[in-house]
Structure 1
Amino acid sequence: MDKPNVLLLMTDQQRWDTLGCYGNKAIETVNLDWLASKGTVFTSAYTPSPSCVPARASLLTGMDPWNTGILGMGKGQGNMGVGFRHTLPGELAAAGYHTQGVGKMHFYPQRTLNGFHRTVLDESGRAYDPGFVSDYKQWFDRNKTGDYGIVDHGIDWNSWMARPYHAPEFLHPTVWTVNESIRFLKERDPSKPFFLKTSFARPHSPYDPPSFYFDTYMNKELPEPQIGDWASVHDVPKDGASPTAWRGVRSREEIMRARAGYYGSIHFIDHQIGRLLIYMQNNGLLDNTVIIFTSDHGDMMGDHHLWRKTYAYEGSAHIPLIVRMPKSFGDPVPFADQPVTLQDIMPTILEASGVTIPETVDGKSLLPLMRGETEGWREYVHGEHSTCYSDVQEMQYLTDGCKKYVWLPRTHEEQLFDLQADPYECVNLADLPEQRDELQKWRSRMVAVLEPRHAGLTEGGGLVCQADKPYLVSPKYQERMSGIEMFKNVH
């Protein structure tokens, strides 16, 4: 049997509850909902580290953040770097696939391939390498209709503010990303199966969809922000005053405008994904293609007075994940509620493609779950993020999709949430006497996860407060980069 093609659709900063197939009644995501109807929706999918670089490193390699060496985008952390022994595109390329990445990769150096045959980049405002200009910006500057730039609407790349796109719709990066994906499908090597990663830079801020999409959601009743009984700690006026605030109270009008821009961005992406699927259908590519849709992490959107990402909370850590297999797979279960994570995508694709899964991979193939085979699946997933905006948001979390345990190492606070009764984590159960045994169970699980690191996080079967201690750094990052330097010196 011919190997299947693989299409990996990825958005940036999209929370799990912003798709119709996840129960959102306000948003219109017809194409993704249709895709979900043909595959499996994973209702308890979580990011291992809720910010761009660490999450994408885990997806690229199938490894936990501790093993990629990237625990966040904050103090003591490196960039993506190179030198991974095995990557998803690299393994597929070695197995005879024609591989291409389109859109946001967030690699460093920015033109490194990390296993792809080619990347065509939209890196938003990032220009880390000397002289780097993204492929999208070059195209934008060649095709723009006036004297303006890619963000001349005045909204920062990490702002909570929102407004309609300032340029003609055809210039928006969401359109360009699908244009380039279709170009690849037209120009690829037809003698090989393909692996295409179509990676959108939205709905990550700026929340700037074209007017049609922005206006649609300004005129709709959207979900209100959720504020927990513990969230007053994030009502900090001096932090909230910033146009790129990570926390603080904004007016209801500002919050709902942000949500309209965010929802509109997702609706717009859905329409453009529809363009890509129509092209594939018309050219006989759809039936024999594995299609996966996910995001690297979510966006708090004002929940608990928080914005952006890096947090253990549902808006930041809970992500969408849809897997649709070729028809030859048979009928999958429509929903799977087992706890899964981004590390599981690489082994899923490799198994579906008949490619050996490297021993470095920490994730597990999702194909058994899609067949309804749940025996032996993991009990919970672990996530973490280093200090980034502030010491108070460094975190470690565990969840099985029903309960969630959060440890804030630098304040030594614990939180326990019942996600079935309280899906937006508004009630912290950690201090309730009747929850003492449940809290201890999850604390012991966290100790079991962290103890093997020998990083000063545990002692005597308990967790150790990290206030005033050096920032947590994984030795795996330096080992990987040192290996590259040794290779250079030898050669």
Structure 2
Amino acid sequence: MSSKQPNIVMIMTDQQRWDTLGSYGNEIIETVNLDALASEGTVFEHAYTPSPSCVPARASLLTGMDPWHTGILGMGAGQGPMETGFAHTLPGVLADAGYHTQGIGKMHFYPQRSLNGFHHTLLDESGRVEDRHFISDYRAWFDRNKSGPYDFVDHGIHWNSWMARPYHAPEYLHPTNWTVNESIAFIQRRDPRKPLFLKTSFARPHSPYDAPPVYFDLYERKRLPDPFVGDWAHIHDKPEDAVSPVAWRGVRKPEEIRRARAGYYGLIHHIDHQIGRLIQCLQREGLYENTMIAFLSDHGDMLGDHNLWRKTCAYEGSAHIPMIVKLPRSCGRTKARVTEPVTIQDVMPTILDIAGLDIPEALDGRSMAGLMQGTAAADWRKYVHGEHCACYSDEQEMHYLTDGRTKYIWFPRLHSEQLFDLESDPGECRDLANRPDERQRLLHWRRRLVDILAKRNAGLTDGADLVCQAGKPYIVSPHYEARVNACSSS
């Protein structure tokens, strides 16, 4: 391996919307470090998650494969945990090529101490305990270093709540600080004769919206964007659902929505400051120029848009993600912005491409290096496909297609469709699906989805049209069972 082999740092946030960075046009939030990174690299304007919830999106990131091929189509509805046994993982391929690999923060693996190709992990799994006796590294550290008789969840807000309040403990104990502290420690104690692969994976801005007070208060005082509320959003105005502190839909008071957004924005501002520490460490260690940095999120957060909260939706707040990539200086200058549609599966082949490594044939993603360097193939995909099984309710199971300009959504268990023109209506406030003058566009996009789903032979289409799934068993990908069985028998 060449001594010039690039270092690779992947920075991942959890549940961050695409429109919460200055480099994506947000003039209210302060993300100076990420905006500076964007100025040195490439902003992918139309990056989307293949499945807008944690486990399926992270499985696609880990493997470079579509959800159908990882076998994980969402969370709930018969979908298993991530498990192990993947033929290829990004950290595994890099480790085999001589990289020193480390994962810090949220991995969401199962079993929770699975390595999935990493040499080592240090975990912050929020409150998740899926293995007997599991205590995350962050929680153990918190308990050793706290300054009083309080717990890491004493703010009283659930991990999936729309509620918000300032962080209850000293800022140095916040998981965002811990994640960067441990990332810096790894950089300083790495094997200096090997290139490094570091995944720094924040557990925020995913709820609880508990930004440290200095950040929370800053955005409480600012005028924040109001949620988008479409002419169709009344379908999610469900008082019986809204009463829950972990509601996935329903109308909340304006002050509650504003407080949630203040906490969310504050968390992102806090993350940006900590990312600045990480970048400064790379610069001090003389690594920055020869380091590829990829920043992205697994999915977004509805934040009250269309009377919806949390994720799993095909709408922009949930499915459209930020993605910024800075290549090593030796790769030369790259395009400032890319408008072609990309997805999380493309990250693994891009990293392997830049590292000069072979890309396994099993990957569904494609290297974005050509898009960045202005040499992309003419056959780059015209649109991306995303999906999610039923999670909170059968009625929100969905498939979607988008090229960043048009969005088509199919709800299999309702057998209904939505169509949005994102260029004229980026907030998806006007559903065009039932407009006669948009009929041909609707049929065009429906045909595209039929062609994708026909390859699965799973009863979602008869080859000519989409087939209603109401009352039918939940679909489970055969690739999941095959992988888990192969792992168990090995």
In 1, distance between residues paired with 2:305 and 2:154? 28
Find out whether 1:369 has 2:371 as its counterpart. yes
TM-score of the superposition, structure 2-length normalised? 0.99
Q: 2:471 aligns with which of 465, 468, 471?
A: 468
Can you list the C-alpha shifts for 1:444-489, whole angstroms capped at 9, x where unaligned? 00000100101000014100000000001100000001111221xx
1:287 to 289, 297, 300: 289
Q: Distance in 2 between matches of 1:152 and 1:434?
A: 54
Maintained 8 Å contact 2:93/2:117: yes
Q: Work out the CA distance in 1 between the residues paired with 2:282 and 2:56.
A: 31
SS at 2:455's partner residue?
helix
Match in the other structure for 1:421: 424
Q: Provide Cα deviations, 1:189-224, integer angstroms capped at 9, x if missing partner.
A: 000000000000000000001000000000001110
Shift in Å, 1:371: 1.2
SS of the equivalent of 2:289 reads: coil
**Partner-residue secondary structure (3-state), 1:453:** coil
Residue 14 of structure 2 contacts residue 299 of structure 2 at CA under 8 Å; is this kept in 1?
yes
Structure 1 segment 11-22 matched on structure 2, within 5 A: 11-22=13-24
Question: Any idea what SS the aligned residue of 2:321 has?
Answer: coil
Identify which of 152, 166, 169 aligns with 2:168. Answer: 166
The root-mean-square deviation of aligned C-alpha atoms, in Å, is 0.6
Is the Cα contact below 8 Å between 2:73 and 2:476 reproduced in 1? yes
Instruction: Spell out, residue by residue over 1:289-309, the C-alpha distance to the aligned partner (whole angstroms, 9 max, x if none).
Output: 000000000000000000000
Q: Aligned partners of 1:377, 1:221: CA distance in 2, in Å?
A: 40
Residue range with higher mean Cα deviation, 325-334 or 171-180? 325-334
Aligned residue identity for 1:233: I
Quick one: distance in 2 between partners of 1:6 and 1:234?
42
- Name which of 452, 458, 468 aligns with 1:455: 458
The equivalent residue for 1:324 is: 326
Distance in 2 (alpha carbons) for counterparts of 1:47 and 1:136: 27
Letter in 2 for 1:397: Y
Percent identical pairs in the alignment equals 67
Deviation by residue 1:333-365 (Cα, 9 ceiling, x = unmatched):
100010000000000000000111111110000
SS for the counterpart of 1:398 is: strand
Counterpart residue number, 1:48: 50
- Tell me how far apart the structure 2 counterparts of residues 232 and 391 of structure 1 sit (CA, whole Å): 18
Q: Which residue of 1 aligns with 2:124?
A: 122
Could you say which residue in structure 1 is the equivalent of 2:362?
360
Asked if residue 400 in structure 1 is aligned to residue 403 in structure 2, the reply is yes
Name the residue aligned to 1:207: 209
Report what 1:386 is aligned to. Answer: 389
Consecutive unaligned residues in structure 1, runs of 5 or more: none
**Counterpart for residue 229 of structure 1:** 231
Partners of 1:126 and 1:382 lie apart in 2 by: 29
**One-letter amino acid of the counterpart of residue 211, structure 1:** P
**Contact 2:451–2:463 (CA under 8 A) maintained in structure 1:** no
Q: C-alpha separation between the residues in 2 aligned to 1:84 and 1:332?
A: 32
Counting only pairs closer than 5 Å after superposition, residues 64-463 of structure 1 correspond to structure 2 as: 64-374=66-376, 375-463=378-466
Equivalent pair of 2:157/2:208 in contact (CA under 8 Å): yes
- For each residue in 1:215-254, what CA deviation from the matched residue of structure 2 results, as whole angstroms up to 9, or x when unmatched? 0000001110000111100000010000000000000000
1: CA distance between counterparts of 2:183 and 2:225? 33
Q: CA deviation at 1:372?
A: 1.7
> Which amino acid is the alignment partner of residue 335 of structure 2?
V
1:373 deviates by 2.6
Structure 2 CA distance for aligned equivalents of residues 339 and 3 of structure 1: 29
- Partner of 2:9: helix, strand, or coil? strand
Match among 3, 16, 26 for residue 28 of structure 2: 26
In the TM superposition, residue 279 of structure 1 has moved relative to its aligned partner by 1.1
Query: In 2, Cα distance between the equivalents of 1:484 and 1:438?
Result: 44
The letter of the residue matching 2:196 is F
Q: Which digits, 9 at most, give the CA deviation of each residue in 1:32-81, with x for residues without a partner?
A: 00000000000000000000000000000000000000000011101010
**In structure 1, how many angstroms separate the alpha carbons of the residues matched to 2:241 and 2:36?**
41
Output the CA distance in 2 between the equivalents of 1:261 and 1:413. Answer: 35
Q: Which residue type is aligned with residue 131 of structure 1?
A: H
SS state of the match for residue 462, structure 1? Answer: coil
> Which amino acid in 2 is paired with 1:218?
E
User: How far, CA to CA, are the matches of 2:386 and 2:58 in structure 1?
Assistant: 14
**Structure 2: which amino acid aligns with 1:439?**
L
SS in 2 for 1:435: helix
Q: Which region of structure 1 is more displaced relative to structure 2, 451-460 or 85-94?
A: 451-460
Distance 2:207 2:241 in 1: 18
2:442 maps to amino acid: L
Q: Which amino acid aligns with 1:430?
A: A
CA distance in 2, matches of 1:288, 1:403: 38
The residue type equivalent to 2:352 in the other structure is L
Instruction: Please say if residues 454 and 463 of structure 2, whose CA atoms lie closer than 8 Å, have aligned partners that are also in contact.
Output: no
Partner residue in 1 for 2:484: 481
1: distance between equivalents of 2:261 and 2:195?
Answer: 39
Corresponding letter in the other structure for 2:401: L
How far apart are the structure 1 equivalents of 2:480 and 2:462? Answer: 24
Q: Distance in 1 between matches of 2:200 and 2:373?
A: 26
Answer yes or no: is the 8 Å Cα contact 2:101–2:197 preserved in 1.
yes
Matched, 1:9 2:41: no
Distance of 1:64 and 1:464 partners within structure 2: 22
Moved over 4 A (4+): none
Alpha-carbon separation, structure 2, partners of 1:272 and 1:204: 16
Equivalenced residue count is: 487
Q: Which amino acid aligns with 2:450?
A: V
Instruction: Kindly provide the CA deviation profile for residues 134-161 of structure 1, in whole angstroms up to 9, marking residues without a partner as x.
Output: 0000000000001111110100000000
Distance, in Å, in 1 between the alignment partners of 2:288 and 2:224 is 34
Following superposition, the deviation at residue 181 of structure 1 comes to 0.1
